[in-house]
Structure 1
Amino acid sequence: MSKRDWKLFLIDIMESIQKIENYIGKMSHKEFLEDSKTRDAVVRNLEIIGEAVVKIPLDVRQKYTSIPWSQIIGLRNRLIHGYFVIDYDIVWNIVKNELPELKRKFQEVLGDH
């Protein structure tokens, strides 16, 4: 089996961010909390982002220090291993307040390579 080019994981990240943006749309916080399908879809794509980040080579992660790599991986671990106690208010905050900036930073990495 051939090793997958790490840049494809950046594309996976960007696709997951786009999906999250599409799922949330103009949804309010209350609507998000009441919509289990959207919550599940958002969480799944945050997990995918975390999985993809693990596959980015360490030297690349060290070059782009403005990206909180370890926090993204930590979020993935909490989502996967603590799924009975997910705090959807925190998920909402990440999606609405942190994801747009992360998207810009990942676009920068992708553009550089």
Structure 2
Amino acid sequence: MMRDNESLIDISDSIHLIMRYTQGIDLDRFTQNEEKQDAVLRRLIIIGEATKRLSPEFRSQHPTIPWRNIAGLRDIAVHEYERVDLDRIWRIIQTDLLELLTYIQPLLPTQEQND
């Protein structure tokens, strides 16, 4: 349970950081800024790794969340790094991450649960 909580926090933190990194920019500015791309891709890797760390029991308790697709974010960022589709990454940022955040927010541990 503790590891699941830590993984959920990692996912949430990474989504919030990606949102901060991309706040106020559009796709054109994103595709021209390698630092932002690197930062976002790193956070997508963390989201994917954290998802893979979630216990099978936890994932099966929340079947409406597309865990396999989320874990695949890591694979996109790692295995396609040299030729990553920035349009696809931008769509993930603009739609999928916000949806994921709404899924996991109610599952995040409270401060008492995390201590």
Same fold judged by TM-score > 0.5? yes
User: In the alignment, which residue of structure 2 is the partner of 1:96?
Assistant: 94
Number of aligned residue pairs = 110
Counterparts of residues 1-113 of structure 1 (less than 5 Å): 5-110=3-108
Q: Given residue 48 of structure 1, which amino acid in structure 2 is its aligned partner?
A: I
Superposed CA offset, 1:64-99 (max 9, x none): 122111011122112112211100100000000111
Q: 2:60, 2:68 → 1: CA distance?
A: 11
Moved over 3 A (4+): none
Identical-residue share of aligned pairs (%) = 35
Q: 1:70, 1:91 → 2: CA distance?
A: 17
RMSD: 1.6
Q: 1:101, 1:73 → 2: CA distance?
A: 15
How far 1:5 sits from its partner (Å)?
Answer: 2.5
What TM-score do the two structures reach when normalised by structure 2? 0.88
What TM-score do the two structures reach when normalised by structure 1? 0.90
Secondary structure, in 3 states, of the residue corresponding to 2:63? coil
Superposed CA offset, 1:16-63 (max 9, x none): 011000000011111111111001100100100000001111111111
> Unmatched 5+ residue regions in structure 1?
none
> Unmatched 5+ residue regions in structure 2?
none
